[in-house]
A = this chain, B = another copy of it.
């Protein structure tokens, strides 16, 4: 089974992605505020803008289907607020790693899931998620810092390994927005691929997965 084989309910999918992109935006906002230099602040603002574009595009997709965006997002609130708390991180670097790895993992997941949406909406959401590039400024900030400091690298590698579990929980519960809840054996290949992509992102940061 692949992600594209699932047929997510459009309102469920859009509501969840709408709230998720808000949560990921809030994390990026914290990263901007805590940035140690003006240059870092300004670069990270680009990531925040990219994530807001995902949020606004998703809200527009809900509106064009005549669905109230807030009502569609509400069911995801408690779970994603919990996810946000668990993955908040204790310093600027951990916040950045969360933004890069959790944002990467979950937008990847929603990008794959988009293929099972009705025609038109599928392409619209794939395009929206493809176009965003919240990750590059984060990579540019983290890469050199990790390369320069071995202790930081090992601390952040631990953090990155922890994050993947929290991301998988969110992805797994997002798959149940399909009417037919897939069983765990069938969904395994999906997770294998998502974890492989996570490992590639860890590598790009210079962290051992």
Residues in A lying within 8 Å of B, measured CB to CB: 18-19, 22, 25-26, 29-30, 32-33, 37-39, 41-42, 45-46, 48-49, 52-53, 55-56, 59, 69-70, 73-74, 77
Q: CB distance B26 to A42 under 8 Å?
A: no
Identify the closest chain B residue to A52 (Cβ): B49
Report the minimum CB–CB distance from A35 to chain B (whole Å).
9
Majority secondary structure, A binding face:
helix
Inter-chain contacts of A73 with B (CB < 8 A): 38, 42
> Can you sample 23 A-B contacts with CB below 8 Å?
A18-B42, A22-B32, A22-B42, A22-B45, A25-B29, A25-B32, A25-B45, A29-B30, A29-B32, A29-B33, A30-B33, A37-B70, A38-B70, A38-B77, A39-B69, A39-B70, A42-B55, A42-B69, A42-B70, A45-B55, A46-B56, A48-B52, A49-B53
**Copies of this chain, tallied across the complex:** 2
Alpha-carbon gap, A41 to B69, bound state (A): 11
Alpha-carbon gap, A45 to B53, bound state (A): 10
Among B19, B29, B38, B69, the residue within 8 A (CB) of A19 is: B38
Inter-chain contacts of A26 with B (CB < 8 A): 29, 32-33
Q: CB distance B48 to A56 under 8 Å?
A: no
Report the minimum CB–CB distance from A133 to chain B (whole Å).
13
Question: Given A29-B26, A32-B25: A45 and B56 within 8 A (CB)?
Answer: yes
Report the minimum CB–CB distance from A208 to chain B (whole Å).
32
Alpha-carbon gap, A146 to B77, bound state (A): 26
Q: CB distance A52 to B52 under 8 Å?
A: yes
Alpha-carbon gap, A77 to B35, bound state (A): 12
Alpha-carbon gap, A38 to B29, bound state (A): 17
Identify the closest chain B residue to A46 (Cβ): B56
Alpha-carbon gap, A75 to B136, bound state (A): 27
Alpha-carbon gap, A56 to B19, bound state (A): 24
